[in-house]
Amino acid sequence: MLDIKSIRADFPILTQHVNGKPLVYFDNGATAQKPQVVIDAIAKYYEEINANIHRGVHHLSQVATDVYEESRLKIQKHLNARHSYEVLFTSGTTFGINLVANGFGQILKPGDEIIVSHLEHHSNIVPWQFAAERSGATLKVIPMNEKGELMMDEYVKLLSPNTKIVAVNHISNALGTINPIEFIIEKAHEVGAAVLIDGAQATPHLKPDVQALDCDFYVFSGHKICGPTGTGILYGKEKWLNQLPPYQGGGEMIKEVTFEKTTYACLPHKFEAGTPNIAGGIVLGVAVDYLNAIGFDNIEAYEQELLDYATKRLQEFDGIEFYGTSEHKASVISFNFTGIHPYDVGAIIDKLGVAVRTGHHCAQPIMNYFNIPGTIRASFAFYNTKEEIDIFIEALKKAKTMLS
Ligand code: PMP
């Protein structure tokens, strides 16, 4: 059981009023709010630790390096990665996917195939289009059904020895569907393909075990798990990280540089060119500690309660259309009212203090499938409450009356 009152007290922003009303923040899929320990850790870094890492022999540089590397170890443990050098700091999910797709763009050949799914965020589509264009490989798409679930029978038909990489999300940001990634990974491996999992929407709700999943890459963003913006993680299996070419060239990623030839540093440095977001990387470890202290089992169970309650309450409305009705769903609800533009609803409930996302959620193929311009998306975090859902429902009632 979570003590929601005390958890909410950890998040200073939640006491804010917006348009004269208490803030109800249901845009957690876009970014999560930050607990005081995370906010304090950012200040502490700049007050007490700030120095460049891996460079100086001086005291502060040593301290900064140690704390940064401790954070990597925390994240290694969190993900259950075999080695700490398989855990790369990035600026976020988008960067992580681009790093991997850029590498594959250089090693794939015409005739090779890349598989993504209809449920992807644009950041797990466009980098693969770049890779296909660059290499001459072909991009294939796992279709989805009316419930917003990936069609696994169609997926296995797409697989062949030509398949080199399968890139899918763990949980859909637009619909909340939890995808059967264990099956996807197993089947891809049967034909010798690598698998990248976009965990941007999964990591706020659950703790992935990359060894149990046996995925080849797992990426996520720090800002969605209560950490700072501009942080993220790319987990990659050692054999793949050794095989892929570096993404960015610069300081820290080299072993030796001459004008004739450069050799690269060992992992993880090969992929960490330049001065990283040191404060961000350190504080991401603080966010991971915070979430683990609450416990992901507790988080998952409580968020499912919120999801069930909100779904039940939304079903009270006439003329409501839900998108993404899989039984395997995280705490995300996408819906529309018949004949009303989602943006108009979002704008009115914002006046009542309720923050939701409206639009295509960077997942236009999903919107095209349903033939809609976008949806209203409410996404819940462990610091939200049923009372807030009641406020949300009342705000929607007002919006619907005004717009009907
Ligand atoms: N994939 C998914 C499923 C997402 O939800 C997001 C963020 N909305 C991204 C990728 C991109 O994450 P970021 O913008 O943090 O790089």
Residues, the chain, total? Answer: 404
The rounded percent of the chain whose pLDDT value lies above 90 is 99
Pairing of strands 375-379, 17-18: unpaired
The residue-averaged pLDDT of 164-189 equals 98
Over the stretch 205-257, which tens digit does the pLDDT of each residue have?
999 999 999 999 999 999 999 999 999 999 999 999 999 999 999 998 999 99
By alpha-carbon position, which residue is closest to atom 12 of ligand 1? 93
What number is the average pLDDT over the span 102-113? Answer: 98
- Mean pLDDT along residues 80-108: 98
pLDDT of residue 56 exceeding 90: no
Provide the b/e sequence for 8-28 (b: ≥16 CB within 10 Å): bebbeebeeeeeebebbbbbb
Asked whether residue 55 carries a pLDDT value surpassing 90, the answer given is: no
State the CB neighbour count (10 A cutoff) for residue 315.
9
Task: Give me the pLDDT at residue 54, please.
Answer: 87
Q: Nearest C-alpha to atom 4 of ligand 1 is from which residue?
A: 200
Whole-angstrom distance, CA of residue 348 vs CA of residue 39: 31
Is position 266 annotated as part of the catalytic site?
no
pLDDT at 1 over 90: no
pTM: 0.98
Residue 81: the pLDDT is: 98
- The domains located in the chain, with CATH, are 4-30+295-403 (3.90.1150.10), 39-293 (3.40.640.10)
Which atom of ligand 1 sits closest to the CA of residue 221?
15
Phi, psi angles (nearest 5°) of residue 89: -80, 135
d(CA 378, CA 286): 27
How does residue 127 score in pLDDT terms, banded at 50, 70 and 90?
very high
Distance from Cα 230 to the centre of ligand 1, integer Å = 12
DSSP alpha helix (H) spans, 108-223: 126-135, 152-158, 181-190, 210-213
Mean per-residue pLDDT, 349-364: 97
**Can you tell me the mean pLDDT for 196-204?**
98
Structure letter (DSSP) for residue 47: I
Ligand 1 atom at minimum distance from 173 CA = 5
Rounded Cα–Cα distance for residues 42 and 303 (Å) = 28
258 pLDDT tier (thresholds 50, 70, 90): very high
Spatial distance between the Cα atoms of 266 and 260, rounded to a whole number of angstroms: 20
Helices H, strands E: what count in the chain?
Answer: 14, 17
Closest C-alpha to ligand 1, atom 6:
200
Average confidence (pLDDT) over 115-137: 98
